[in-house]
Amino acid sequence: MILITGAAGFIGSAVASALNRQGRTDLLLCDLFGEQERWQNILGLRYKQFIHRDVLFEYLNSAPYAGAIQTIIHLGACSDTTMADMDFLLENNVNYSIKLCQWALQHDVRFVYASSAAVYGDGSLGFSDNDEITPTLRPLNKYGFSKWMFDMWVLENGYQDKVAGLRYFNVFGPNEYHKGEMASVVFRAFPLASAEGRIRLFESHRPGIDHGEQARDFIYIDEAVAITLFFLNNPPANGIYNTGTGRAHSFNELAQGLFEGLDKPPVIEYFPMPEELRERYQYFTQADISRLQRAGYPPSQDRFKECVVGYVRDYLLPGCLRLQSISK
């Protein structure tokens, strides 16, 4: 039995879908819906039970299926990088994760959890997932700080040889439609590009970096899922790992792929970055994936443009924003 928290979210629903395609239906899905449309993310999925996050620990301590859990994939969190309530993030992203990890360790259950590239801050210290570097990192926002706090809890308690943490970089692809401002630039730029044939990107406010040349390690959802399942299927692989491609691509490159998917000439407009973001903005991210490869995950080819074009043509243009069709 596999428990997936955040199962109605972007990565969680993709992981559950991938497990279904492998023939696994022994899944416990945990999340909360609220007033969002995330219920659509689990349409068509096969699972044993859906558990509201607020009663998860009551369930774990009493329900019959709880004793059959072999792995927890903990993806549930507040992922809003603009969240201002640090107390909420502390309770939701840190204390809840600590409690769930402690339960897993006490019951000899495999624990794989989502961290974030946001822990790296401005990138001035690089993007190595070496444990010795983690205490020196300085995240730029409260969300990144909350993810760093849990990483540090794992390290300070010596659990890095017992659990697996995944520092997801910029994941994009089908099933992110509910994420609002936290959705990928591809998704958010698509309506304007499709309707008016133009895209708007932030200007650069850093000397030596041209407009639109800010770069990210963009990773398509299928590869993010593949890495997640690699750790599900390889219990000896423990520690905190970067989950990216090891390659950075600029927003200008992203725009080119978006317009190619639309079969339109690229028209890019640049506008000033809001003042409040300028000191908290990552101009460059690129995962150091050497540790991931040493753990046995195979090298991959550069699929960035192919994935952007395919995302636009296969999912955004038809309006099929739900994950049922991700197996195309």
Q: Summarize pLDDT for 221-259 with one digit per residue, the tens.
A: 999 999 999 999 999 999 999 999 999 999 999 999 999
Question: Which is catalytic among the residues 162, 179, 270, 283?
Answer: 179
Q: How many domains does the chain have?
A: 1
- Provide mean pLDDT across the span 47-73: 92
Question: pTM for this structure?
Answer: 0.94
Would you state the pLDDT for residue 319?
A: 57
- Provide mean pLDDT across the span 35-51: 91
**Domain CATH code at residue 30:** 3.40.50.720
Residue 142 bears catalytic tag = no
- Residue 193 domain-assigned (yes or no): no
| Identity of residue 2 | I
> Has residue 320 got a pLDDT over 60?
no
- Residue 310 domain-assigned (yes or no): no
Measuring CA to CA, which residue among 305, 276, 85 is closest to residue 186?
305
Contact 258, 192 (CB under 8 A): no
- Residue 262 domain-assigned (yes or no): no
Listed in sequence order, the residues at least 6 apart from 273 whose beta carbon sits closer than 8 Å to its beta carbon are: 202, 203, 205, 281
| Least confident window among 32-41, 88-97, 154-163, 198-207 | 32-41
Contact 184, 176 (CB under 8 A): yes
- Residue 75 domain-assigned (yes or no): yes
* Per-residue model confidence as pLDDT tens digits over 1-24: 999 999 999 999 999 999 999 999
Mean pLDDT of the chain: 93
Question: Which is catalytic among the residues 143, 159, 311, 315?
Answer: 143
User: 77 — phi, psi (to 5°)?
Assistant: -175, 165
Instruction: Assign 123 to helix, strand or coil.
Output: coil
Q: Which residues pair with 190 in a beta bridge?
A: none
Domain that holds residue 98: 2-172+219-246+288-300
- Residue 137 domain-assigned (yes or no): yes
- Residue 41 domain-assigned (yes or no): yes
- Provide mean pLDDT across the span 50-79: 92
> Has residue 327 got a pLDDT over 80?
no
- Residue 251 domain-assigned (yes or no): no
Residue 264 bears catalytic tag = no
Would you state the pLDDT for residue 14?
A: 97
Angstrom distance (rounded) from CA 123 to CA 9: 27
Q: What is the 3-state secondary structure (H, E, C) of 45-81?
A: CCCCEEEEHHHHHHHHCCCHHHHHCCEEEECCCCCCC
| Least confident window among 124-128, 181-185, 270-274 | 181-185
- Residue 187 domain-assigned (yes or no): no
* Per-residue model confidence as pLDDT tens digits over 83-118: 889 999 999 999 999 999 999 999 999 999 999 999
Tokens of 297: 């995950």
Angstrom distance (rounded) from CA 258 to CA 275: 27
Measuring CA to CA, which residue among 228, 240, 320 is closest to residue 19?
228
Would you state the pLDDT for residue 322?
A: 43
